[in-house]
Copies of this chain bind each other. A is one copy, B any other.
Amino acid sequence: MSTAPACLGHGRVTITPALRAAVDRLDHRSRHQAAYHFGWITAGGAPTSADAGKAVRPALALLSAEAVGAPPEVALPGAVAVELVHNFSLVHDDLMDGDEERRHRRTVWKLWGSSSAILTGDAMLALAQEVLLDTGLPTAAPAARLLARTTRHLIRGQVQDLSFEQRSHVTVEECVDMAAGKTGALLSASAAIGAVLAGAPEATVDALALYGDQVGLAFQLVDDVLGIWGDPAVTGKPVHSDLRSRKKSLPVSYALNQEGPLSVELAAWFAAPGGPGGPGKPGEPGEPGEAELRRVAGLIEGAGGRDWALTEAARRLALAEDALRGVELDAGARDELVALGRFVVDREV
């Protein structure tokens, strides 16, 4: 299990030169902003090495080739492409969500305005396809096709997420479908794209894709539990952060869809948090206090939302590992995939 952090670090180191070479093709503004976003330069352009995230997706892409007996280099354009698609979505999401910081640095839209964030995100998305198709490999077309379809699902998840904010009732199934799009789709494509580039049989590609789908859902379930009950010292977010933003996350949607007085009380709170005074936003009058958020977290837990999410995460992780056992894979790479899946899911809850 101790191999996962090493594997992630190795993935980051492996892809960075190719990712930088790809970003260098962009026009000077998009290049600057993308390089800033990836943590390579400061806003002013000075070299730096800021936190660029865990690079889970490139690591999965490289392991995906190794798992089917191909050298990881075969997956390199795929690893770069999935990282570009992930970061296209982050740059656009930060703008849409109005998030001013990511990894303790100002976001692209906050520094350079919304038009820049739109264009830099667009440029990264187009570049992802270009990197794959420039290889000239006969397997580039199916890999690019997988990535285009995945992007459609990723956007579908984002659209659902936005629509849920405006709806009073969301089923658990809809919420899982949203997470499958927003989180599962690209992890699935990452876990499959190396095998696609290596020309692996369809059944093997499908098994790796299923592993990625399930790891993605398990990750999101745990992430949502941490968003409500996580220790701020561990998550780096305020306590009850997802309740403060009234996010209809997976444990919340489960709890809201149960029978009984706790769910009724919870639904009333989500309809008008902060009580009859109406919804309060952070820092505004009417913002729910700590005691109230603790009470709401208790309602979700009492209605079974926390237990369900953790049980469901464990079930999804087991399904992911089952998928890897159902096909012939390189044993070492399979072990690394299992370790990586557990690493991204098994966080302090």
Contacts and interface: CB of A to CB of B under 8 A. Distances in A.
A155 to B, nearest CB: 5
A95 interface: yes
Interface in A135-176: 140-142, 144-145, 147-149, 151-152, 155-156, 158-160, 162-163
A284 to B, nearest CB: 22
A158 B119 contact: yes
A145 B134 contact: yes
Main secondary structure of the interface of A (DSSP, over half): helix
Nearest to A88: B122
Contacts of A144: 129, 133, 141, 144
A26 interface: yes
Q: Which of A96, A114, A121, A144 has the most CB of B within 10 A?
A: A144
Contacts of A130: 145, 148-149, 152
Contacts of A104: none
A125 B124 CA distance: 12
A126 B153 CA distance: 10
A29 interface: yes
B127 A27 contact: no
Contact of A159 (B30, B114, B141, B148): B30
A123 B121 CA distance: 13
Contacts of A151: 122, 126
Contacts of A123: 152, 155
A18 B127 CA distance: 26
A306 to B, nearest CB: 30
A155 B92 contact: no
A149 B88 CA distance: 16
A130 B148 CA distance: 5
Contacts of A162: 115-116, 119
A116 B96 CA distance: 9
A162 B118 CA distance: 12
Nearest to A140: B141
Nearest to A129: B148
A71 to B, nearest CB: 22
Q: Which of A129, A145, A147, A158 has the most CB of B within 10 A?
A: A129
Nearest to A122: B155
A208 B40 CA distance: 40
Interface of A: 25-27, 29-30, 88, 92, 95-96, 114-116, 118-119, 121-123, 125-127, 129-130, 133-134, 140-142, 144-145, 147-149, 151-152, 155-156, 158-160, 162-163
26 contacts: A26-B152, A27-B152, A27-B155, A27-B156, A27-B160, A30-B159, A88-B122, A92-B119, A96-B114, A96-B115, A96-B118, A114-B114, A116-B162, A119-B155, A119-B158, A122-B122, A122-B125, A122-B151, A122-B155, A126-B155, A130-B148, A130-B149, A130-B152, A133-B141, A141-B141, A141-B144
Given A27-B155, A126-B148, A130-B145, 20 more contacts: A25-B152, A26-B156, A27-B152, A30-B156, A95-B118, A96-B114, A96-B115, A96-B118, A116-B162, A119-B158, A121-B122, A123-B152, A123-B155, A127-B148, A129-B145, A130-B148, A130-B152, A133-B141, A134-B145, A144-B144
